[in-house]
Amino acid sequence: MARTPTPDDASRMPPNPDAHATEDAADHQRGNGDEPQQMVAGQHATMTTNQGLDISDNQNSLKASPRGPVLLEDFILREKIQHFDHERIPERIVHARGSAAHGHFKLTRSLADYTTAKILTEVGEETPLFTRFSTVAGGSGSVDTPRDVRGFAVKFYTKEGNWDLVGNNIPVFFIQDAMKFPDLVHAVKMEPDRGYPQAASAHDTFWDFVSLTPETFHTVIWAMSDRAIPRSFRMVEGFGIHSFRLINAAGKSTFVKYHWRPLLGLQSTVWDESAKLQAADNDFLRRDLFEAIQAGKHPQWELAVQLFTQEEADGFPFDHLDSTKLIPEELVPLTVIGTMTLDRWPDNFFAETEQVAFCPSHLVPGMDFSNDPLLQGRLFSYPDTQLSRLGSVNFHQLPINAPKCPFANQQRDGHMQMQIPKGRVNYEPSSLDPTSARATPDGFRSFAERVGTGDVDDAPKSRIRAESFADHYSQARQFYRSQTKYEQAHIASAFVFENSKVETLHIRERVVGHLRHIDEDLAQRVADGLGMETLPDAPPTAVPARDMPESPALQIIGKMKDTLDGRSVGILINDGSAAATVQSIRQAAESAGAMVKIVAPKVGGATLDDGSKLAADGQLAGTPSMVFDAVAVILSDDGAIALLGESAAIDFVRDAFGHLKAIAADAGAQKLLDRAGIEKDAGIVAASDVDAFIKAAKTRQWEREKKVRMLA
């Protein structure tokens, strides 16, 4: 019986020349050399089974007859389906959704006085690294732009072993003791009976937990600020949060806090924009990072440190071992020591971004931990979670996790052992193999901290929270009062939004009660926003808030840069749009550093007034103005009239206006603006005035906000 031709017939043709070109490499992979052999996908011209058997048909399973049952014998089908069935691994219990990139760190200032760590002492040295950004609460398939803290984890592949700096984009944490971490995470993740909300803290269990845990309030107020709705991973700060130790050649310890500062400046979205982005583009932040790196716009961050001694720490008005506290820059200034550049997107999301395993316990000689009880708990949790996630104590052998310096010891075997250790010696001390790995005096040494001095009191062991951890409100007050009036309004509105989703009245009341300790005005605004008739009582507190000096470094707006560098501009066109205007805006925006995208009703583009056809980068219905930092609308009269009946076009300008963005419009486009009810202000400029547009596009129109939104 004649066989029906299948698509696989094409694959029986001679492999393409490019594939032949890689055959040598593939043969090498499968050869008999000394190295352990690894089949790398794409490096062999013909398709094989996992055992290296060439496959002749990848379209049809083996059947008893063309219409008969499939045979159990078909090991090729079984292997393929079985492998597929096991593709997924457990997602991270927190920070499941993330995006990562390769890059390097270059040291510009030596910390040799403080540490022996080569990565912090060898000026000019470039250390490869891998950085993963993440949301915290949502699952791996959730959205990029919920209101949430962002993870900022960096794995430095140093000459002396891997150093992982596993931080967040907020410099403080919700809780003081790792004992509370499972409770915090259970409370913020989707509720266990209903399985929602996904990736959102706006629900009863989160606010129930935090309102019963006053230590959370400093971080909660940060999480209600615009830091939790960033415009881009490229525009977030990063913080190691805990105090760590640096140890110098003389064995002296200095405490250090790490800060990442984006060269593009901080930039956030407004909440309505963030919420709409969740519908417009689930992958907004991932796409943004990918597109920037692919376009050669490699994001950079300065690494800065705050250094302080035990004696200085003893004089701070709070305990530096308490992760709910930060050290204001005004108290201990930041010293910039180097730059991180992210310049390469991973080749494979699963192998790299998903399998990367960060652990705060990964450090190098010349560094050590502090006694922060949150950090101490983390030292256990991360390697432990990698076992359930990656399935083996050999997770360090995965290429993304393996140090790039030599590593050796007598640990052996275990699931998925990828190495083939040689010889008889798998123990130490040993004399049979003089080349077997030995400990070295230059290796890692813990700081010889003495109990009864410095940070460690001479006291009986106990399950007790230090009294020095008891002030939960002073820094929250300092944070709130340091913000601009726009940011204060956003914080109040965020509390209102989140607590409006809380169904249980007494939880809402408890939250507002806590806010009274932070700032009466904030509490009143939130109470008004929630429609409360009276202010609830503040809960009792051991330590009332003290007034601390305002710290402008805590703002976002103060740290935004008036720039189009790394930002994006969308130009909405239709048939008949003025080619010259489109071109001049595009040129000016690109020379100011922006990425420019053309948006049209049809992705094929539009025919401009000079008869040329301009292809669109995005179709109007799928490319709303949320994905841009500023927009230009260039329309002929007819082109505008055609769009008056298209709500996506009206929304394009209305949302840009509502999200406080600059809009350039020509005469035709004005019809659309009129239909959308947009009033002229400093951010609405004539398309012919390109300079004015570029100037306005570099910032958000904060003064406009009171016209478009009832903020708390």
Q: Which of 44, 97, 102, 132 forms a contact with ligand HDD (CB under 6 A)?
A: 132
**Distance (Å) of CA 244 to CA 55, 323, 369, 622:** 54, 11, 5, 46
Among 138, 151, 328, 639, binds ligand HDD (CB under 6 A): 151
Which is closer to ligand HDD, CB of 181 or CB of 244? 181
Q: How do beta strands 335-344 and 300-308 pair?
A: antiparallel
**Binding status of residue 392 toward ligand HDD by CB under 6 A:** no
Residues touching ligand HDD, count (CB under 6 A): 27
* Distance from C-alpha of 419 to C-alpha of 408, rounded to nearest angstrom: 11
Alpha helices in 637-689 (DSSP H): 637-643, 647-658, 667-675
Q: Which residue in the set 119, 153, 334, 538 belongs to the binding site for ligand HDD (CB under 6 A)?
A: 153
Q: Which two tokens mark 597?
A: 């995208």
373 touching ligand HDD, by CB under 6 A: no
Please enumerate in sequence order all residues whose Cβ is within 8 A of that of 275, keeping only pairs 6 or more positions apart, or say none. Answer: 145
Closest CB to ligand HDD among 29 and 371? 371
Piece in contact with ligand HDD (CB under 6 A), picked from 6-14, 26-34, 160-168, 543-551: 160-168
Query: Applying CB under 6 A, does 385 fall inside the site for ligand HDD?
Result: yes
Tokens 């350039």 found at: 664
Active-site annotation, residues: 95, 168
Looking at beta carbons only, is 166 or 650 nearer to ligand HDD?
A: 166
What are the DSSP calls for 360-419, one per residue? TT---TTEEE---HHHHHHHHHHHHHHHHHH-STTGGGSTTTS-SS----S----TT---
In this chain, which stretch among 273-281, 308-316, 351-359, 518-526 interacts with ligand HDD, using CB under 6 A? Answer: 351-359
Residue selected from 310, 381, 426, 584 as contacting ligand HDD according to rule CB under 6 A: 381
**Closest CB 177 distance from ligand HDD, rounded Å:** 8
What is the contact mask toward ligand HDD in residues 167 to 196, using x (rule: CB under 6 A)? xx----x----x--x---------------
CA–CA separation, 99 vs 168, rounded Å? 14
- Match 């001694």 to its residue by tokens: 309
Site membership for ligand HDD, residue 137 (CB under 6 A): no
Q: Does 377 bind ligand HDD (CB under 6 A)?
A: yes
Residue 420 CB, shortest distance to ligand HDD, in Å, is 28
Rounded Cα distance between 626 and 274, Å, is 8
Q: Does 351 bind ligand HDD (CB under 6 A)?
A: no
Nearest to 171 by CA among 236, 225, 240: 240
* Segment interacting with ligand HDD (CB under 6 A) among 94-102, 140-148, 561-569, 590-598: 94-102
Establish if 94 lies at the interface with ligand HDD (CB under 6 A). Answer: yes
Please name the residues in contact with 645: beta carbons below 8 A apart, sequence gap of 6 or more.
Answer: none
User: How would you class 367 by CB atoms within 10 Å of its CB: exposed for 0-12, middle for 13-18, buried for 19 or more?
Assistant: buried
Please tell me whether residue 138 binds ligand HDD under the rule CB under 6 A: no
Interacting positions 492-521 with ligand HDD (CB under 6 A): none
Judged by CB under 6 A, the chain residues 227 through 246 that form the site for ligand HDD are 241-242
Query: Which neighbouring-strand residues pair with 437?
Result: none
Contact footprint for ligand HDD (CB under 6 A): 92-95, 98, 132, 134, 151, 153, 166-168, 173, 178, 181, 241-242, 323, 356-358, 374, 377-378, 381-382, 385
